[in-house]
């Protein structure tokens, strides 16, 4: 039953080769997107369909992808193209009076030009009230990659208007679960943040849990039960090469990367009960960071990379704690109810998000680390696994709808939301990837 | 009917003087009155035969009495051991009072059968946080393990694993489903 494995490079290679159930892509695996509500404060913006020069790839138009990106953020309310009075594609054709009449704050226009196997986008963004151009850019991408080009345009538009980096080009990792001939099928997948272009990275009949992105976005750490017990793996996304990094007796769970990508925080129970450890990925040496008879788990670095948030039930129920450096005396952060767990900080060091029980329901809440004020962000009631977008403006989490587990995205201050159900079965354990470098 | 056929045979043996001091009570269901070794063993055939009127009969009878008690205890223990799933309240790993007799029976069995191994699989309900539930499932499994060790099982016979909320016994999001999912299962291998 118990398999002892070494960490030799040969074993790693064998593991990578032997895993016949690793697949690369499947369109059928895509999540559906359902925008469930928009915020009242959303900014009206007109994304005019781009003029096209030359053959364009089949599929969604660039402008419609940009529209849905901006809608998903919850911060924008794009004007439906059929309500537009004209379809300008350059500055000289933009009549500000028309867009003012339509109540628009910003207008995006542009052109796509086919250049061999690439497509170039030239685009301009205008502030309608000030009648000024606030952005003018060109970008190119392979014609097969129009979606990436569209997400890039969305990022630029978002940043020009809000002053905050866009995250439409980032990725999600998550786990789907369905049943085939009565057998469970867990699949670790990576997709765009709208659920499109999903690719299966690992498939197993045993649970896969807790995917965590490396800071460079090139690797995932996760827990897989494929050998019959929980083991932490690091998975190189480009090559599919996998390495077992933690296979100690008992729990090997809740991996979380350091900012330099050189070490993982993880929960191990090799020394009798669940404690937080830091593992150096080069030497595989583990250092114990907590020492208590209670459960200590779900550790993550704070935004500065100095301190560690984690969950502990040392007070009797799970609560969020913080150590200002590894191994320091923990300080309790949450007091609002008897169950607060799985902390995830934003990138600014301003908030920490977590699973919060209120009455009989489980929501996602956040605490302002300066004022210690707690806000419940979600109205759904079986919420778990919060993950904050790298710009701190959106939050994804898993919840239940009609008996199935779905992913839901909300603006980090509550408000607008969209959900990402699987075509069939459950989808859970979302992890929002970093901005690609 | 099988019983009366058998007692007829025994009665026949008695009457032939070949056999003495045995009763068929080992076969009888535990009704009242089996403390008596002079109970009528055949009332069907017109003659009433009383057995066990000498010392040998008495000692033989009292042995079957011990055996019967033992068998009965064994049956009770076996029946107890048919329960292999133990339930927990939300966010606790406290063993419930009603689980104790059953766990003692399992511990005795493991102690009597040192080559028998068992896997203790800990689970939680779907509520709350996944990784915390994984640790909670382990704590539940370890609570059961400790109880079994205290009552005679050896730690080497046991292996604990937690699945957290990943493998619910019952689908659904009701109180009843949650209660059935917060559990430790003993899997004998």
CB-based contact, B131 to chain A, within 8 Å: yes
Helix axes B130-150, B100-112, angle to 10 degrees: 60
Q: Which domain holds residue A57?
A: 37-162
Q: Which residues contact A432 (CB under 8 A, 6 or more apart)?
A: A167, A170, A172, A193, A213, A387, A388, A389, A390, A394, A396
Mean pLDDT taken over chain A: 90
* Residue A428 DSSP label: E
Helix axes A62-72, A146-162, angle to 10 degrees: 50
Q: Give the pLDDT score at B63.
A: 64
Q: Give the pLDDT score at A422.
A: 83
Token pair 């193209």 is found at A81
Tokens of A189: 């997948």
Q: Which residues contact B4 (CB under 8 A, 6 or more apart)?
A: B42, B44
Most confident of A44-58, B21-35, B129-143: B129-143
Which range, of A17-26, A146-155, A428-437, B134-143, averages the lowest pLDDT? A17-26
Q: What is the mean pLDDT of residues A370-396?
A: 93
Which range, of A3-7, A33-37, A402-406, B62-66, averages the lowest pLDDT? A3-7
Between residues A68 and B46, which one has the greater pLDDT? A68
Tokens of A286: 């583990």
Which strand (E) or helix (H) includes residue A308?
Answer: strand A308-312
How many DSSP H helices and E strands does chain A contain?
Answer: 4, 31
Burial A280-294 (b: 16+ CB within 10 A, else e): ebeeeebeebbeeeb
End-of-domain residue from the set A98, A131, A162: A162
Given an 8 Å threshold on Cβ–Cβ distance, is A273 in contact with B139?
Answer: yes
Q: What is the mean pLDDT of residues A357-364?
A: 93
Contact residues, chain B, for A230 at CB < 8 Å: 134, 161-162
Q: Quick one: pLDDT band at residue A24, thresholds 50, 70, 90? A: very low
Q: Are residues A133 and A228 in the same domain?
A: no
Domain tally, chain A: 2
Asked if residue A1 belongs to a domain, the reply is no
What is the dihedral sign for C-alpha A20, A22, A27, A30? Answer: positive
End-of-domain residue from the set A134, A162, A190: A162
Q: Are residues A374 and A406 in the same domain?
A: yes
Q: Are residues A143 and A203 in the same domain?
A: no
Q: Are residues A20 and A44 in the same domain?
A: no
Residue ranges of E strands in chain B: 85-87, 118-123, 158-164, 183-188
Q: Give the pLDDT score at B28.
A: 38
Q: What is the mean pLDDT of residues B65-84?
A: 87
C-beta neighbour count of A134 within 10 angstroms: 13
Q: What is the share, in percent, of chain A residues with pLDDT greater than 70?
A: 91
Q: Are residues A201 and A125 in the same domain?
A: no
Q: Give the pLDDT score at A330.
A: 97
What is the dihedral sign for C-alpha A398, A400, A406, A407? Answer: negative
Strand order in the sheet with A308-312: A296-301, A308-312, A319-323, A331-332
Provide the β-strand partners of residue A119: A114, A141
Tokens of A181: 């001939």
Between residues A416 and A341, which one has the greater pLDDT? A341
Given an 8 Å threshold on Cβ–Cβ distance, is A400 in contact with B173?
Answer: yes
Q: Would you mind telling me the total number of residues written for chain B in this entry?
A: 189
Q: Are residues A278 and A421 in the same domain?
A: yes
Check if the beta carbon of residue B87 is closer than 8 Å to that of residue B94: no
C-alpha to C-alpha distance for A252 and B135, rounded to whole angstroms: 10
Q: Are residues A136 and A191 in the same domain?
A: no
C-beta neighbour count of B59 within 10 angstroms: 11
Asked if residue A279 belongs to a domain, the reply is yes
Q: What is the mean pLDDT of residues B42-64?
A: 47
Q: Give the pLDDT score at A413.
A: 78
Please compute Rg for chain A using Cα positions.
23
Which domains does chain B carry? 2-73 (no CATH), 83-188 (3.30.1330.60)
Give which of A162, A55, A169, A150 is closest to A110, Cα–Cα: A150
Tokens of A288: 């114990």
Check if the beta carbon of residue A247 is closer than 8 Å to that of residue A233: no
- Asked whether residue A392 carries a pLDDT value surpassing 80, the answer given is yes
- Asked whether residue A8 carries a pLDDT value surpassing 90, the answer given is no
C-alpha to C-alpha distance for B126 and A56, rounded to whole angstroms: 47
Bridge-based pairing state of the strands A106-115 and A51-53: parallel
Given an 8 Å threshold on Cβ–Cβ distance, is A384 in contact with B128?
Answer: yes
- Burial status of residue A252 (CB atoms within 10 A of its CB: 0-12, 13-18, 19 or more): buried
Q: Give the pLDDT score at A130.
A: 96
Q: Are residues A137 and A182 in the same domain?
A: no
C-alpha to C-alpha distance for B143 and B95, rounded to whole angstroms: 7
Burial B61-83 (b: 16+ CB within 10 A, else e): beebeeeeeeeeeeeebeebbee
pTM recorded for the entire structure: 0.83
Q: Give the pLDDT score at A39.
A: 60
Inter-CA distances, A62 with A1, A67, A242, Å: 52, 9, 35
Q: Are residues A281 and A196 in the same domain?
A: yes
C-alpha to C-alpha distance for A395 and A414, rounded to whole angstroms: 9
Check if the beta carbon of residue A416 is closer than 8 Å to that of residue A378: no
Q: Are residues A180 and A73 in the same domain?
A: no
**ipTM score here?**
0.89
CA A261, distance to chain mean position in Å, is 18
C-alpha to C-alpha distance for B24 and B3, rounded to whole angstroms: 8
Which range, of A195-204, A321-330, A401-410, B51-60, averages the lowest pLDDT? B51-60
- Asked whether residue A209 carries a pLDDT value surpassing 50, the answer given is yes
Residue A68 φ then ψ, to 5°: -70, -35
Give which of A303, A306, A292 is closest to A343, Cα–Cα: A303
Q: Are residues A68 and A207 in the same domain?
A: no
Q: Are residues A125 and A268 in the same domain?
A: no
C-alpha to C-alpha distance for A232 and A250, rounded to whole angstroms: 12
Chain A interface test: which of B119, B120, B131 (most A C-beta within 10 Å):
B131
Asked if residue A3 belongs to a domain, the reply is no
Which strand (E) or helix (H) includes residue A193?
Answer: none
Give which of A285, A284, A206, A286 is closest to A9, Cα–Cα: A284
Q: What is the mean pLDDT of residues B159-164?
A: 96
C-alpha to C-alpha distance for A133 and A109, rounded to whole angstroms: 11
- Asked whether residue A4 carries a pLDDT value surpassing 80, the answer given is no
Between residues B23 and A430, which one has the greater pLDDT? A430
Between residues A364 and B40, which one has the greater pLDDT? A364
C-alpha to C-alpha distance for A25 and A21, rounded to whole angstroms: 12
Inter-CA distances, A413 with A43, A75, A346, B111, Å: 16, 11, 12, 58
Between residues A9 and A408, which one has the greater pLDDT? A408
Given an 8 Å threshold on Cβ–Cβ distance, is B138 in contact with A269?
Answer: yes
Between residues A401 and B58, which one has the greater pLDDT? A401
Q: Give the pLDDT score at B43.
A: 38
Asked if residue A437 belongs to a domain, the reply is no
* Interface of chain A toward chain B, CB-CB under 8 angstroms: 1-2, 207, 209-210, 225, 228-230, 250-251, 253-254, 267, 269, 273-274, 295, 297-298, 311, 313, 317-318, 339, 341-342, 355, 357, 362, 382, 384-385, 400, 403, 428-429
Q: What is the CATH number of the domain that holds A94?
A: 3.40.50.10070
Q: What is the CATH number of the domain that holds A193?
A: 2.120.10.30
Chain B interface test: which of A184, A204, A206, A254 (most B C-beta within 10 Å):
A254
CB-based contact, B125 to chain A, within 8 Å: no
- Tens of pLDDT along A269-301? 999 899 999 999 999 999 999 999 999 999 999
End-of-domain residue from the set A162, A187, A206: A162
Q: What is the mean pLDDT of residues B106-122?
A: 96
Contact residues, chain B, for A387 at CB < 8 Å: none
- Asked whether residue A18 carries a pLDDT value surpassing 80, the answer given is no
């Amino acid at each position: 039953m118990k398999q002892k494995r070494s960490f030799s490079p040969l074993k790693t290679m064998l593991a990578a080769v032997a895993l016949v159930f690793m697949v690369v892509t499947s369109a059928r695996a895509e999540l559906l997107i359902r925008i469930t509500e928009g915020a009242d404060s959303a900014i009206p913006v007109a994304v005019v369909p781009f003029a096209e020069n030359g053959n364009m790839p089949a599929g969604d138009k660039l402008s419609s992808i940009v529209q849905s990106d901006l809608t998903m953020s919850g911060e924008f309310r794009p004007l439906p193209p059929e309500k537009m009075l004209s379809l300008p594609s350059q500055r000289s054709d933009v009549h500000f009076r028309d867009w003012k009449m339509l109540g628009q704050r910003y207008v995006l226009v542009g052109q796509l030009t086919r250049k061999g196997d690439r497509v170039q986008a030239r685009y301009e963004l205008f502030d309608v009230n000030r009648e000024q151009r606030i952005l003018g850019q060109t970008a190119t991408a392979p014609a097969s990659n129009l979606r990436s080009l569209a997400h890039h345009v969305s990022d630029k538009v978002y940043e020009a208007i809000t002053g905050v980096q866009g995250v439409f080009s980032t990725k999600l990792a998550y786990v789907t679960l369905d049943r085939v001939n009565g057998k469970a099928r867990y699949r670790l997948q990576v997709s765009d943040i709208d659920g499109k272009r999903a690719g299966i990275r690992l498939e197993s009949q045993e649970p896969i849990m807790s995917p965590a992105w490396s800071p460079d976005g090139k690797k995932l750490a996760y827990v897989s039960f494929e050998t019959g017990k929980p083991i932490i793996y690091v998975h190189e996304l480009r090559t599919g090469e996998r390495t077992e990094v933690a296979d100690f007796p008992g729990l090997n769970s809740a991996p979380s990367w350091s900012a330099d990508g050189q070490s993982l925080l993880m929960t191990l129970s090799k020394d009798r009960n669940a404690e937080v450890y830091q593992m150096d990925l080069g030497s595989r040496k583990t250092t114990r960071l907590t020492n208590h008879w209670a459960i200590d788990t779900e550790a993550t670095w704070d935004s500065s990379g100095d301190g560690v948030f984690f969950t502990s039930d040392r007070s009797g129920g799970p609560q969020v704690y913080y150590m200002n450096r590894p191994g320091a005396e923990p300080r309790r952060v949450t007091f609002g109810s008897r169950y607060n767990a799985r902390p995830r900080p934003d990138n600014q060091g301003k908030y920490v998000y977590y699973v919060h029980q209120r009455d009989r329901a489980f929501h996602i809440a956040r605490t302002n680390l300066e004022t210690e004020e707690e806000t419940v962000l979600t109205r759904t009631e079986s919420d778990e696994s919060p993950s904050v977008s790298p710009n701190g403006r959106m939050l994804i989490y898993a919840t239940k709808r009609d008996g199935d587990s779905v992913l839901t995205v909300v603006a980090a201050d509550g408000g607008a939301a969209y959900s990402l159900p699987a075509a069939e079965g459950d989808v859970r354990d979302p992890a929002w990837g970093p901005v690609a470098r | 009917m099988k019983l009366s056929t058998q007692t007829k045979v025994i009665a026949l043996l008695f009457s032939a003087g070949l056999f003495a001091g045995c009763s068929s009570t080992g076969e009888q269901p535990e009704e009242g009155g089996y403390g008596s070794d002079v109970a009528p063993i055949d009332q069907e055939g017109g003659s009433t035969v009383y057995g066990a009127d000498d010392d040998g009969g008495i000692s033989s009878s009292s042995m079957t009495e011990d055996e019967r008690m033992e068998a009965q205890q064994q049956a009770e223990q076996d029946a107890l051991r048919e329960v292999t799933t133990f339930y927990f309240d939300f966010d606790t790993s406290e063993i419930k009072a009603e689980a104790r007799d059953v766990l003692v029976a399992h511990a005795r069995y493991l102690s009597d059968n040192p080559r028998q191994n068992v896997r203790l699989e800990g689970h939680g309900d779907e509520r709350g946080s996944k990784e915390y539930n994984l640790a909670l499932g382990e704590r539940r499994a370890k609570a059961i393990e400790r109880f079994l060790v205290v009552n005679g099982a050896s730690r080497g016979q046991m292996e604990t694993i937690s699945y957290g909320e990943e493998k619910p016994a019952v689908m659904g999001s009701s109180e009843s489903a949650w209660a059935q999912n917060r559990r430790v299962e003993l899997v004998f291998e």
